Homo-oligomer: A and B are copies of this chain.
Amino acid sequence: MKSKELKAENPPVDRLSALRFHHIIYLCNGGILSFHFKIIYESSESLARLGEIQTPHGCVNTPVFMPVGTQGTVKSLTPEELHEIGVEIILANTYHLYLRPGHEIVAKLSGLHRFMNWDGPILTDSGGFQIFSLARLRTVSMSGVTFQSHIDGSTHVLTPEKVIEIQEALGSDIMMCLDECLPYPTERGRAHKSLSITLDWARRSKKARGGDGSALFAIVQGGMFKDLRARGIDELRKIGFEGFALGGLSVGEPRELMLEIASFTVPQLPREYPRYVMGVGTPEDLIELVSFGADMFDCVIPTRNARNGQLFTRTGTVNIRNASYVSDSEPIEPGCRCYTCRNYSRAYLRHLFMARELLAYRLSTIHNLYYFTNFMNDIREAIRAERFLEFRKEFYSIRNTL
């Protein structure tokens, strides 16, 4: 796994810095590019690696954190703000957009990119996680899943084929196969049966897709059973996909178990394809998963916590509602270059939260997404400089001072 065969491709210039502009070049060319993944560098210290994902809407440098734009908007922000933060790719939720406004309406309005005015890459999830966490009265069969909308109780049937149709209608750059996401704990027999369904759905998803330059990723399930995870990977690899994701993590299991399953499973995902750990996580989770060789992550933590006044800093999270900030003229994190920290004090942010002002959620979201984006930038630079383990050590030592 410490293979270096690709290292010779790296020019002596600061490749990481140059790479940051690749997606702009792609956009300027205006051409429709199809999906491609390239490993740029592999750490000699760990399984961590640098990659570059090319999509029809630009280039993404990995490891990458994808902000969640559930309903076709990263809550409270404009696309311009996402670009300013440095966000290269966002995630949108197939389940939500299918229910409202409906994929056909989005398609009629020229697709999700135009609809929400975001010109960068979009990954759409499969809806699996939402069906099993939000929807009501769901019944799963080999053919698909029947459920009631969490919005209005209406009944819907989603099949693997339908989920591909929806994602293609949205104009997704990276689509995910419909999967069954199990809760924790799930006993082995149930997990085994579920894995079979997910594998069958993956085959059907691949068959159903068109060929428009977008990618299709498979999702590995299997509960907390390593042998089931391994079998899932084998089968999915045989079917063949442009990327492989770990699903069914962060569903209620202890963090140690999540990391154990991930440390076992991530390195087994095909090396030459993007490895995506779905729905994870905290900065602590991200740095561990990167060390296992994971490339992509998404999570609502930075955006949701921001709206609750929980702000990320190098030394840990702060609750900006705390009375100690009432007349604090410092920014959330001194030295932070985000728009919020460059212009507003902790006292002002606290005031906005106490007064329930809409600007509170927006300024906090900007800061938290900047923190996560910048954190991933730092991780990539540390990998490239062969100081990732040192960076990880520093990361924990600063946080522990809290």
Contact = CB atoms under 8 A, between A and B. Distances in A.
Interface of A: 71-73, 75-78, 96, 100-101, 105, 108-110, 115-117, 326-327, 329, 343-345, 347-348, 350-352, 354-355, 357-359, 361-362
A12 B138 CA distance: 74
Given A354-B100, A358-B361, A105 B347 contact: yes
Main SS of chain A's interface residues? loop
Contact of A355 (B76, B100, B352, B354): B100
A379 B116 CA distance: 34
Contacts of A76: 358-359, 362
A78 B366 CA distance: 12
Given A326-B101, A358-B358, A347 B109 contact: yes
A348 B109 contact: yes
Stoichiometry (number of copies): 2
A348 B71 contact: no
A245 to B, nearest CB: 26
Contact of A351 (B71, B326, B327, B358): B71
Nearest to A76: B358
Given A100-B351, A355-B100, A327 B73 contact: no
A60 to B, nearest CB: 23
26 contacts: A71-B355, A72-B348, A73-B359, A75-B359, A76-B358, A76-B362, A77-B359, A78-B359, A100-B351, A100-B355, A101-B327, A101-B347, A101-B350, A101-B354, A105-B326, A108-B327, A109-B327, A109-B329, A109-B347, A109-B348, A110-B329, A115-B351, A116-B348, A117-B343, A358-B358, A358-B361
